[in-house]
Structures are given as C-alpha cells and as structure tokens.
Amino acid sequence: MKHTVFLSLGSNLGDKNLNLSTAINRIAEKTGVLSAISSVYETQPWGFDSENLFYNMAIKIETELTPIDVLKSTQQIEQEMGRTQKTTHSYADRLIDIDIILYDDLVYQSDELTIPHPHYREREFVMAPLREIFLN
C-alpha cells in the first residue's frame, strides 16, 4: 500500500544546494517516489545561534515503507552525507537534516519517532515549503 509522506530538508554547511539535491536523489533511490518538491527557502537557524543560514525545503513522496523504515532510511542518508552523532540529538550546524513531518493522516508516537512532527506548526521554515506543496 502506498503512503504519502512529507519530509522537511535543511542544510547550513558546505554547498547547501548540492546537499539538498543529493539528499533528494538518495531519498528517491531508497525511500520513495518523489511527487512534489518545494522551492528552497533561506532561513535563520532555529534553536541555536550560527552565522550560517539554512536552506530549507519540503518534499512529498509516495512510499510503501512503514514510518519506522522511512525514519531508518532518512537517518542512513543523513549519516552517509556526513551527519555525526554530535549533531543527531541537538540543534547545531549540519550538512543535512531530514525530518518526517506527516505520514498520511497517521498519529504515531514512539521513543524514536513522533508523527506528525511535534513542532512543525511552530516553524515557518517547515510551514512555508509545506504550504507551497499543498497549494500546488
């Protein structure tokens, strides 16, 4: 069964456009079929201070993976792209950040994953790209 998943992507280190496009390509290879891609938004860091602005965007995919398998896939992509344990559980500069925002209309809570993402409505860097996808 196909599921509709919305992911938020962000990068504020290195070649941010390349980081985002690399992540999108790997998501398409490993996680699901891309069905919508937002524009890239330049935003201030959230939850920490940094001189490096973020590039943020959202994508919509269709997948047969479970929510936990989507999480494992996106975490593997983050690690392959250079995300370290140091940046896994805190707000910090990073090459890539991939968050599951919505998975169908599922409400899900476990120790490792909460869907919908618990803070997405508070974050304009998530909401603006999501609105763009929903309006198109």
Structural element, H or E, at residue 6: strand 3-11
What's residue 126's pLDDT?
Answer: 86
pTM of the model: 0.89
For 100-134, what is each residue's pLDDT tens digit? 999 999 999 999 998 998 787 777 788 899 999 98
Higher pLDDT, 135 or 2: 2
For 53-100, what is each residue's pLDDT tens digit? 889 999 999 999 999 999 999 999 999 998 765 544 466 678 999 999
Q: Which parts of 47-135 are beta strand (E)?
A: 54-63, 97-103, 108-109, 114-115
DSSP annotation of 15:
S
Any residues with CB less than 8 A from the CB of 65 and at least 6 apart, and which?
Answer: 3, 31, 32, 73
Domains of the chain: 3-135 (3.30.70.560)
